[in-house]
Amino acid sequence: MSAVEPSLIERIIRDDVRAMGAYHVADSHGLIKLDAMENPYQLPAPLREQLGKRLAEVALNRYPVPTSEALRARLKHVMDVPAGMEILLGNGSDEIISMLALAVARPGAKVMAPVPGFVMYAMSAQFTGLEFVGVPLRADFTLDRAAMLAAMAEHKPAVIYLAYPNNPTGTLFDEQDMEAIVRAAQGEVCHSLVVVDEAYQPFAQHSWMPRLPEFGNLLVMRTVSKLGLAGIRLGYLAGDPAWLAQIDKVRPPYNVNVLTEATALFVLEHVDVLDEQAAQLRAQRASVAAAMAAHPGVTVFPSAGNFLLVRVPDAARIFDRLLARKVLIKNVSKMHPLLANCLRVTVSTPEENAQFLEAFAASLQD
């Protein structure tokens, strides 16, 4: 039992924080883990050995180089960041989203995104006292351009997030719809910073990165997590240096640790390995989607990510039956009304996908 008086917590901790639940990460011990959109492949053994030697030389007794110049330069080259654009590094995309919220957190400022979408857009807004405005997608999870433009005119958000593709739906929004929003945010409807979140770009193979020089209010955010490096926690934000210079002011010092930097630099020398893994997962995505869709009463939505959103007759029951068969996926059916009876499953190796599909078929029949 805690020795802290509840009344003391009530006096000190914000009401909205006390009312929240912490971000939940399910225990996956002993399970086939298909709930977090991770790349299931490790680096090949020879590369792991080389990486071990590289990390053994890292000076753990020293602080990281604050600007991470070598890593930023390598990312700009490998990821084809346009000339004249700069990048800002974060401890995963989550920290970048937090930095953006901090940088724009004036009284009355708002953050906007289509919903259902990535939960951290709304959570980071709440943490910093910003209002979050969620604009519902259409029933087929495509972007509702008219609703977005109307909401922009009404709320005048400081930041608009457009996930490309979207999580948890996997939708790759129409490029013309997105361009209309970016242009409207340049002053036609409001003055807003538009952040295109490309966390799943290796699986979408479409990007707004080449278009950064066209739009002064556009930033592109990515992470190396889905490339197979979720454990090192590295995200980056690309765009005009004038924006990044301001956001950099709220970046915690030394936010990218020396092991993360050394690992990323090494793996970016072997990006062809990551590209091949992404190609395998794209192929597996198609086969898993077809196998699930073959079951009566099951709807599989188009996905440009390394995951699939599927609607089943009873999401809670299917989730529990899969868990009983040692398969962990994500039950997203309570996240938003549009996601009623929806489950999200990560695409994995052929072996794990086969085990999932066998368990899924059996769970439908129980």
d(CA 94, CA 319): 27
Residue entry with tokens 């957190």: 105
pLDDT at 366: 79
Look at residue 25 and tell me whether its pLDDT is greater than 90: no
Q: Which tokens belong to 97?
A: 């989203």
Ranges of CATH 3.90.1150.10 domains, the chain: 6-44+272-365
The predicted model gives 356-360 an average pLDDT of: 98
User: Are the C-beta atoms of residues 9 and 15 closer than 8 Å to each other?
Assistant: no
Q: Would you state the pLDDT for residue 1?
A: 65
Measured between alpha carbons, how far is residue 167 from residues 8, 51, 193 in Å? 38, 31, 20
pTM of the model: 0.94
Percent of the chain at pLDDT > 70 equals 100
Using one digit for the tens of pLDDT, what is the confidence trace for 315-335? 999 999 999 999 999 999 999
Q: Are 101 and 122 in contact (CB under 8 A)?
A: no
CATH for the 61-269 domain, from 3.30.300.20, 1.10.730.10, 3.40.1010.20, 3.40.640.10: 3.40.640.10
Is the pLDDT assigned to residue 8 strictly greater than 90?
no
User: 6-44+272-365 — its CATH code?
Assistant: 3.90.1150.10
Averaged pLDDT of the chain: 95
Q: Is the pLDDT of residue 26 over 80?
A: no
For the chain, what is the HEC assignment? CCCCCHHHHHHHCCHHHHHCCCCCCCCCCCCEECCCCCCCCCCCHHHHHHHHHHHHCCCCCCCCCCCCHHHHHHHHHHCCCCCCCEEEEECHHHHHHHHHHHHHCCCCCEEEEEECCCHHHHHHHHHCCCEEEEEECCCCCCCCHHHHHHHHHHHCCCEEEEECCCCCCCCCCCHHHHHHHHHHCECCCCECEEEEECCCHHHHCCCCHHHHHHCCCEEEEEECHHHCCHHHCCEEEEECHHHHHHHHHHCCCCCCCHHHHHHHHHHHHHHHHHHHHHHHHHHHHHHHHHHHHCCCCCEECCCCCCEEEEECCCHHHHHHHHHHCCEECEECCCCCHHHCCEEEEECCCHHHHHHHHHHHHHHHHC
* Chain center to CA of 20: 21
Burial of residue 155 (number of CB atoms within 10 Å: 0-12, 13-18, 19+): middle
CATH 3.40.640.10 residue window(s) in the chain: 61-269
The whole-number average pLDDT for the span 214-229 is 91
Evaluate whether 97 touches 115 at the Cβ level (below 8 Å). Answer: no
User: Which percentage of the chain shows pLDDT scores above 90?
Assistant: 88
**pLDDT tens digits, 128-161:** 999 999 999 999 999 999 999 999 999 999 999 9
- CA dihedral angle for residue 81, residue 84, residue 90, residue 94, rounded to 10 degrees: -70
Q: What is the DSSP letter of 230?
A: G
